[in-house]
Every structure is written in C-alpha cells, then in structure tokens.
Amino acid sequence: MAEMLGRITLPQARLGGGEEGGPHIVLLHGFGGSATQWRPLMTQLAGAGASVTAFDLPGHGASLPQGAQDARRCAEAVLQALAAAEPFHLAGHSFGGAVAALMAINAPEKVASLTLLSPGGFGPEIAATDLRAFGAATSDGELAGALRTFCAPGFSWPPEALAAMAAERARPGQSTALARLADLILKADGTQGTLPLARLAALQLPVTLVWGRADRILPVHHAELFPAARRVLLDGVGHMLHAEAPDAVFEAITRQAGV
C-alpha cells in the first residue's frame, strides 16, 4: 500500500491487526536498508498482539523513485503517511533512529514512545568511510565485505540475507541515491549533524536507547549524551542490532510499547 504525501508516495508494509487495544508499532530502517529487513521482527510483534507498520524511507526500496531525502524531510513524509493514525510507538535504527527522534520533536502528540537502535545524530562521530563503502556495495561479496565493520567481529550474514540486499541494490539508481544520502548525512569534515537533544528531553517522552558496545559506526558513548533515556547496552554486538541481537531488540521494543 502507499500513502500520498503531496509529491511523495511512501510505500509501507503492514502486519497484524493487533488485539483489542493492542499497540501500534512503527519501524524505520537505517541507511541502505528497507522495510523488508523488519519482516522477522514484524512477525514476532504481530504474534505478541501488536499492529506493525514498516516504511521504505525515500531513496530506499520501493521509495527509490522519490530520491534521497534528509532526516527532516523523511520525518515529515512518515508523519504525513500516519496523519490519520492514533498515537503510535516508534522504533528506528541508525538513520531511521534520527528520523524517529525528529518525528517525536515535531509531533509529540503522535508518538507514544521511542525505541532508538544505535540512532544517528546523537553525537558528531561517525565512520564516514565505512558508511560510503556500504552504500556503494552492490554484489553479495561487496556487501559482505562492507558489512564487516557494521557488525561485531565473528558475526556472519546469512547468504540469503546478502542475496536479498544485493537484489535491492540492483535497482537502477539505488547506489546513486545512497551516495546522495551519505552526502546529506555527512559534513565536509567527516562528522555527522546532531539532533536537538535538549528539545527531545524536554518532551519527557519514554525513550529507550539500545546500543551495541562493539558498534564501530556510531560509538556507544553517544548513548551517554541522552541521560533521560533508559539504556540497553549489549556486549559483543555491533551496529546492526536487528540482525545481531534480534531477541534483545524484540524485548526492548515490546517492553517500551507495553506489549
């Protein structure tokens, strides 16, 4: 399905009707991802009684024709798509975490809680070279190589997951869109822009930060920059939390959403 957002059409995946009064959980992927990465988690959450929505953010997956958009514009697009929805619980990974935070800041009445998985924008440090290499990778082998720094040492991606990512990267224009998004995320000095965390804290919104202690893309000490949050720090886990520690991600989201 798709929601019309003025000049943007934002595809989404939905799963589960939820039980009577069950929570609505919205999932936002990171740089180079898509809604499909959430399918196992969506199945788990729906089985627990939640209604789940996942979006392809502009410049990714089925939203590739919209072109890359910065986090602010992505936040506006998702909020427009959810304009008719009751307040929802929002979870976002990496770039999607920055988008989720901006959604809460801009429309706090719509967001019941935040679960942020190694979110972008909490501090200036970012592994810029690795981010660009991941965005440029297209084949299974290139993706496996680029993802080594995104995961803790010893983690291996299943071949079927790499094949699915490679199939998405094969879409004409996908690599160009990711290169453009990297330009939007990164400053000339190789750092990233930061979020207005004081405004987020002032909302007194329930926030859980989940971070891998072995994250080599966005350092775990960024979690300390938002002391208002409940923090879940995972030993032996890198940046790709949904793949490396799916049970911990499920537990964090369900606890925050009250599933």
Span 145-186, pLDDT tens digits: 999 999 999 999 999 999 999 999 999 999 999 999 999 999
Cα–Cα distance, 52 to 68 (Å, whole number) = 24
Span 226-235, pLDDT tens digits: 999 999 999 9
Cα–Cα distance, 27 to 35 (Å, whole number) = 8
pLDDT confidence of residue 56 = 93
Q: Where are the beta strands (DSSP E) in 128-227?
A: 207-212
Mean predicted confidence (pLDDT) in 179-195 = 96
pLDDT confidence of residue 6 = 38
For the chain, what are the domain ranges? 2-127+194-257
Share of residues in the chain with pLDDT > 90 (%)? 87
Cα–Cα distance, 197 to 222 (Å, whole number) = 11
Supply the mean pLDDT for the chain. Answer: 92
Which candidate, 214, 238, 209, 212, places its Cα nearest to that of 224? Answer: 209
pLDDT of 202 strictly over 80: yes
The CATH architecture that domain 2-127+194-257 belongs to is: 3-Layer(aba) Sandwich (3.40)
pLDDT confidence of residue 4 = 32
pLDDT of 60 strictly over 90: yes
- Quote the pTM value: 0.93
Cα–Cα distance, 36 to 184 (Å, whole number) = 24
pLDDT confidence of residue 259 = 85
Helix (H) or strand (E) holding 71: helix 71-81
Cα–Cα distance, 36 to 22 (Å, whole number) = 23
